[in-house]
Structure 1
Amino acid sequence: MDIVLQKDCFLQDMAHGPSRRGCCSSFLVNAVLANASMAYPSFHNRYQYWSPHNLAYQFMAEAKRLWELESDTPRLTTIQAAMLMNVNTNMNAMDEIGFNYTKRAVEMATQIGLLLPPRGSSLDGPVNGKQRRKTLSRNFTAWALFNFQALHVYILFEPPLINKPPDVPLPDPATNPEWYGQICLKYPGDTKLHTTHFPYQFQAQCQVRVIMNDMWIERFGSSRQSSPEGGTTMLPSTQLEQTNEFYARLKAWFDSLPDPLTPPRIVFPSQILPHSNYQNILANLYESITPTSSNVEMINTIKQAASCNFETLLRFYYLRHGFSYGDQFLVQPLNTLSFWSLSKVHAIVSQNHEIHEENNSELKATQSTLLLAAKGLYEQSASFYLDRLTLQLLRSKMRPQERNLLESEVLFYDRDYAGHHLPGNQHDKSIKSEENNKKKDGQTGSQTVSDRAGDNKDQGSAEKEPIREVRSKWVVTVRSVDDDPEIHRLQKLVMNNLKLDETFEWSGEDE
């Protein structure tokens, strides 16, 4: 989970009122509330970002208005809010637009010297509370922005926006937790506060994002050559050497994790997801390497262990927390696990032409993993349109066997969703067939499947979802860090697999 602002400074300046808001602004507050509204479980149809009745839509509309007024003036709060605007837009499957917020935030950071060594007041010595909060917030935001862009260029397969980490020292979380801001939880019926060890988590996140950023500098840097498809590949002479170097750095980071973040101690989603991200990177790292007799065993061991650990972590997440509460950082691992599993299903079937599926334990286990990931996407889709769209894409690539399992085991209580965007308008046919049956029974045909499936009036509006408004460069089905991303981008996959009109002219409303 990425934190884009120093929350203690933000809340303290909010409490002090408009005259002392160096770390808080109306724009930032609206961006925060828009982000929170997307996942608030009491709001029905909260994924419908286009609906004016959606509270997230209203906060985003006000945030966009304030962005137009403030985007020309570099401020710390504007940089923080821009990152949140990027996240909010990403979850609407419009990261092509949303990433412009982060690009502008980096420009602002350069203008105010945010990534340079700290200047002015130190946190040591006599400084007033307002100046101390501003210095804390400034130093924290420098790393938050670097972390944020490092993650987003990684999942979008874009060159880094920042080539080196901030010249801002990260203090020891054990002796200076105030720099990071602590986050504690209080459970019902318990009077104690329980720490989430956020300072350790943020420091570890900064360290691994430096490695990820360096990986992408190498991928898009001078040691690369253009591929015929338009992507880039590393020169053969340096590929294995660089991969081994990054593996060693990642392994050293993992081995040096503080005790609260080690695998036996992790509990919270914000602790589990960094581990899943680490395992995902390891699983992909050697995909493009052609093994030789001297390294084939090592490479296969790393890939198999990382893939197994990645799946285990997501199962652990589900058993501890479930998938029903909106978590914006779940879509990437759930998407990865689902398409990995689907690819494995196809491989098992293709290798066994006369397979008896009901007796094949490997196929059954893989289908179980596929359904778990699909269940996660489905439950997250109540909050985020991106998950909803990803699930439809996944479903379009399934065999009839897995699609039937999905509808009987996961979507059985929401037939409107299960039928949405079926190839050949099969859903429309199923509705007409059911209406005809009801007419034969003397009932009116006005109540459709979607009217009965939901618990509110807007459930049937799923047929009108604006899928053609997708503007996402998110790389969905890629397996290797050296794959050409262009053929794996969400917008292209949606057009090719959900039979969208490629000549559709995008609305400029969100530009």
Structure 2
Amino acid sequence: MADSSSSNLRRRRGLGIVTPNACTECRKKRAKCDGQAPCGRCTSQKGVTCVYEVPFDAYTTLFEKVRQSKEHMRSEIEQLREQQKQTGRVLAALVSNNESEKILKQFRDGATLEDVAEQLERSGSIPSASGGGHTTTFNHCSDHKAIESALQPARNIMRPDSSNFGSTDVQGLDLQPTGQEMGNAWSAWGSEGQTQDFSGGSQADSMNWSPDGLPYPHHNPNYPLVGTWNQPARSSQNSLIEISRSQGQETVLGHEFGSDRTKDMVTDGQFTGSWTSVTSDKALVEHLMALYFCWEYPTFASLNKEHFLEDYRSGSQRYCSSLLINAILALGCRFSDQVESQLSTQSSESAGDQFFAEARRLFEAQTDRHVLTTIQALGLMSIREVSCGRSSQSLYYSGQSIRLAIEMGLHRELEDEEIADSQENHAVRSATFWGAFSLDQAWSLSIGRLPQCSRDVALVAKPDIVDEVEASDWVPYTDDGAPFERSCTQPSNIRSVYKTFCELSEIVYKTMYTLYTPGSPVTGKKLLDVYTKYLNWYDSIPTALRLGHNFTPAVLFAHMYYHFAILLLFRPFIKLEIIGSGLSPRNVCSQAAEAITTLVHSYSKLYTLRRTPSFVPCFVLTSSIAHVVTLGTTKDGRELLQEGIHDLKEMQACHGFADRALDIIQYLISTWGVDYSMETESLEEELKYKQNPKSLCRVSTSSLNQFCPNVQGVDMDRTLGPVKQDENPLFWPFPLQGAPLLNIGAELESSGFRMLEVDDSA
């Protein structure tokens, strides 16, 4: 019985069960070949010729040599990796005040690097990095210093004066400090005056935001610190890149993945197809999947990575589908320069169009869309469309995703009898809902509208944090794979990022009902109540997600989103002041915008803006509009605006929305009469920006025009000058977006606001 049972277990891949003399057809299909001439598989298929590329005996010898060579290289890489981790642990201990003297004494007494690293791991002084630890390891001390330099501006937050916030005179407002004085609007996670051990120490950050060194030096985008590891893009394909891709995919997707061609047999129960009719190249499919999971996942993700990948390999359609795969591949193409990802080899703008068209076809062909994978795919299609600048389509797919999730009841906790189905199904349902929910809140925040969920809906618990998943390594994976010579290896903290991001989305959800509920006008007390919730969230972020501990793209994105939410909370009120509080909406917006610019700059130096999550251009547009306002009213911030425009231009190659954003900024600069000239890089661009600004950003019948400032005849103040008596004082650069509901005229002060006094001479 035991023998029968064990024979049904899935066998793991291994060199011992690889057929060394596979025919061309079996190798192309990645199927097991029996080595006969002709082989059994080709014999069973009509019209197939069984061909071996080299003579049988020569092939066997050649294969053995290749296998031994790759095995030797793989073994060497693993040894170097282990040495790298040991070096990282020792370096982390050396820069720690508590450990440095003891470590130096051990070396002076003749201890080896391996001995010291083992002692540190055994004593628990520094967490082990092997098998996925909780610390960042660096290959060289110079890498440590370079990355710390890139992050330094993003680890210094400018704080408003603590005496300006926390007043109890704001229409009955009673603010409660949480953990530290809430007057520190962007206060540190932890005690004041402490310094962060960047290499994984336990002391708290001194997050003191003040971007140093502006204007920023414009670096070469082809040479980031971590992104391409100082290798030019579009490297030629060779065996080293193949191994790098294999190693990178094993880290990003799991040990069962990798493009190593020696693994060209199929294990029992493994699905052999590519899940898409666009390509039969499974290596390309897995490469694009790895790009998505590396650079976009997990924020706004509605799929559970572990369950999805398992069903992808087995062919099960419970948590995987062709629609979902095509949506992932369409998004993954945004991070690739390979011509296979582009519909037209003449333009990178078409990257992923074939996969997206196939995903749309599959979606339209569905008769029942109440399926988990369909909801997940719609979210990914929405994210891809916002990157392309098609906001109307993105809103449509996002809306369909959250509505289907609610119709399926994914927002509610399962009953006892339903939970009995399986715990993993509950985890996937929860992730599916929260991904759709978070995306809906991002759009509600961006365009000013009520969310799709009702105000008092009870939300399902967020997915649990799994230590094994949390401690998995994150490496920057690109078209060149993930070479050993990368600058560092970080813990992914995937589940912590996802959970914390969902908590932030809950605050955004409550914010929307504060600003846009009919019959419930905004007051100064309500505005500061919401602001306090954001500050509490920021204060309670886990240590693992501090910028001194973790700088993965997802963590940097979460920080950008926080400041984006703060900026949009106060932007409508920049011409007002809150009675009873010294907090200035205009100043808060300026500081939030500066924080976004600084974070994007650090991201650019680390990874380049060629590989950014899809909403980043929206963040940069929003911060740049704030910089335009600051420049137009105070004559300051020219360098910040210049940096925002430069960042959008760098993102043009991969984000179509960046083009639209640049037109919007040019239109607002011209319309508001701000003294600034945008630099042009081509004759076409120069002609466009020198023409009448009224021809820019016009409305269109093919779009919902959410990001269209050029609308005539709308009763809304859109200038930078003072507000006339009884005029609407809300600042809203996009007239077709929703505006907060605010009492104006004689009732303005009863809501806790008054007009901001503007110095006309400024």
TM > 0.5 fold call: yes
Q: By how many angstroms is 1:152 displaced?
A: 1.4
Q: By how many angstroms is 1:56 displaced?
A: 1.5
Matches for 1:164-313 after TM superposition, within 5 Å: 167-170=459-462, 173=465, 176-177=466-467, 184-185=474-475, 188-189=483-484, 194-224=490-520, 234-235=521-522, 239-287=523-571, 288=573, 290-291=576-577, 294-297=580-583, 302-303=588-589, 305-313=591-599
1:183 to 1:118, Cα distance in 2 relative to 1, 3 A: farther
Provide Cα deviations, 1:251-283, integer angstroms capped at 9, x if missing partner.
111111100112433412211222122223334
Aligned partners of 1:37 and 1:144: how far apart in 2? 21
Residue 357 of structure 2 is matched in structure 1 by 61
> 1:272·1:317 contact (CA, 8 Å) conserved in 2?
yes
Does residue 155 of structure 1 match 2:446? yes
Q: By how many angstroms is 1:304 displaced?
A: 5.2
Matches for 1:40-119 after TM superposition, within 5 Å: 40-43=336-339, 54-70=350-366, 72-119=368-415
Residue 501 of structure 1 is matched in structure 2 by none
Does residue 145 of structure 1 match 2:413? no
Q: By how many angstroms is 1:137 displaced?
A: 1.4
> Which of 348, 367, 372 in structure 1 is aligned with 2:643?
372
Residue type of the partner of 1:155? S
1:405 to 1:285, Cα distance in 2 relative to 1, 3 A: closer
Residue 487 of structure 1 is matched in structure 2 by 735
> 1:180·1:198 contact (CA, 8 Å) conserved in 2?
yes
- 201-210 vs 51-60, which moves further: 51-60
> 1:476·1:488 contact (CA, 8 Å) conserved in 2?
yes
Residue 449 of structure 1 is matched in structure 2 by none
> 1:142·1:166 contact (CA, 8 Å) conserved in 2?
no
> Which of 382, 385, 402 in structure 1 is aligned with 2:653?
382
Aligned partners of 2:666 and 2:517: how far apart in 1? 36
1:120 to 1:402, Cα distance in 2 relative to 1, 3 A: farther
Does residue 10 of structure 1 match 2:308? yes
Partner SS state of residue 23, structure 1? coil
Partner SS state of residue 388, structure 2? coil
Aligned partners of 1:28 and 1:48: how far apart in 2? 23
Residue type of the partner of 1:372? E
Residue type of the partner of 1:487? P
Aligned partners of 1:273 and 1:205: how far apart in 2? 10
Aligned partners of 2:708 and 2:699: how far apart in 1? 16
1:214 to 1:299, Cα distance in 2 relative to 1, 3 A: same
Residue 395 of structure 1 is matched in structure 2 by 666
Residue 495 of structure 1 is matched in structure 2 by none
Higher helix share: 1
Aligned partners of 2:348 and 2:627: how far apart in 1? 37
Q: By how many angstroms is 1:35 displaced?
A: 1.2
> Which of 406, 420, 432 in structure 1 is aligned with 2:679?
406
Aligned partners of 2:382 and 2:494: how far apart in 1? 23
Aligned partners of 1:188 and 1:420: how far apart in 2? 44
Partner SS state of residue 291, structure 1? strand
Aligned partners of 2:473 and 2:457: how far apart in 1? 25
1:489 to 1:384, Cα distance in 2 relative to 1, 3 A: farther
> 2:472·2:493 contact (CA, 8 Å) conserved in 1?
yes
Aligned partners of 1:332 and 1:77: how far apart in 2? 27
> 2:301·2:435 contact (CA, 8 Å) conserved in 1?
yes
Aligned partners of 1:347 and 1:148: how far apart in 2? 34
Residue 703 of structure 2 is matched in structure 1 by 471
Q: By how many angstroms is 1:44 displaced?
A: 10
Matches for 1:27-46 after TM superposition, within 5 Å: 27-43=323-339
Provide Cα deviations, 1:152-192, integer angstroms capped at 9, x if missing partner.
1111212100135664223653xx34688956326532699
Provide Cα deviations, 1:63-101, integer angstroms capped at 9, x if missing partner.
111111226431000000111122222233322233222
Residue type of the partner of 1:322? T
Residue 321 of structure 1 is matched in structure 2 by 607
Residue type of the partner of 1:418? E
1:104 to 1:326, Cα distance in 2 relative to 1, 3 A: same
Q: By how many angstroms is 1:467 displaced?
A: 10
> 1:13·1:21 contact (CA, 8 Å) conserved in 2?
yes
Provide Cα deviations, 1:118-164, integer angstroms capped at 9, x if missing partner.
246788x9x8xxx5543321121121111111111111212100135
1:162 to 1:48, Cα distance in 2 relative to 1, 3 A: farther
> 1:6·1:181 contact (CA, 8 Å) conserved in 2?
no
1:265 to 1:5, Cα distance in 2 relative to 1, 3 A: same
RMSD (Å) for aligned C-alpha atoms: 4.0
Q: By how many angstroms is 1:284 displaced?
A: 4.2
> 2:391·2:706 contact (CA, 8 Å) conserved in 1?
yes
Q: By how many angstroms is 1:326 displaced?
A: 4.4
1:322 to 1:367, Cα distance in 2 relative to 1, 3 A: farther
Aligned partners of 1:401 and 1:286: how far apart in 2? 22
Partner SS state of residue 162, structure 1? coil
1:82 to 1:188, Cα distance in 2 relative to 1, 3 A: same
1:381 to 1:120, Cα distance in 2 relative to 1, 3 A: farther
Partner SS state of residue 577, structure 2? coil
Q: By how many angstroms is 1:109 displaced?
A: 1.8
> 1:472·1:489 contact (CA, 8 Å) conserved in 2?
no
1:50 to 1:166, Cα distance in 2 relative to 1, 3 A: farther
> 1:149·1:160 contact (CA, 8 Å) conserved in 2?
yes
Q: By how many angstroms is 1:10 displaced?
A: 1.1
> 1:9·1:136 contact (CA, 8 Å) conserved in 2?
no
Aligned partners of 2:470 and 2:453: how far apart in 1? 22
1:285 to 1:394, Cα distance in 2 relative to 1, 3 A: closer
Residue type of the partner of 1:273? F
> 2:507·2:533 contact (CA, 8 Å) conserved in 1?
yes
Residue type of the partner of 1:245? D
- 144-153 vs 466-475, which moves further: 466-475
- Normalising by structure 1, we get a TM-score of 0.69
> Which of 688, 713, 730 in structure 2 is aligned with 1:421?
688
Aligned partners of 2:587 and 2:731: how far apart in 1? 21
Q: By how many angstroms is 1:335 displaced?
A: 0.5
Aligned partners of 1:404 and 1:471: how far apart in 2? 29
Residue type of the partner of 1:317? Y
Provide Cα deviations, 1:364-393, integer angstroms capped at 9, x if missing partner.
xx2222221112111211112211122133
1:378 to 1:139, Cα distance in 2 relative to 1, 3 A: same
Residue type of the partner of 1:262? R
> 1:47·1:385 contact (CA, 8 Å) conserved in 2?
no
Residue 432 of structure 1 is matched in structure 2 by none
What are structure 1's unaligned runs of at least 5 residues? 225-233, 350-361, 427-465, 491-511
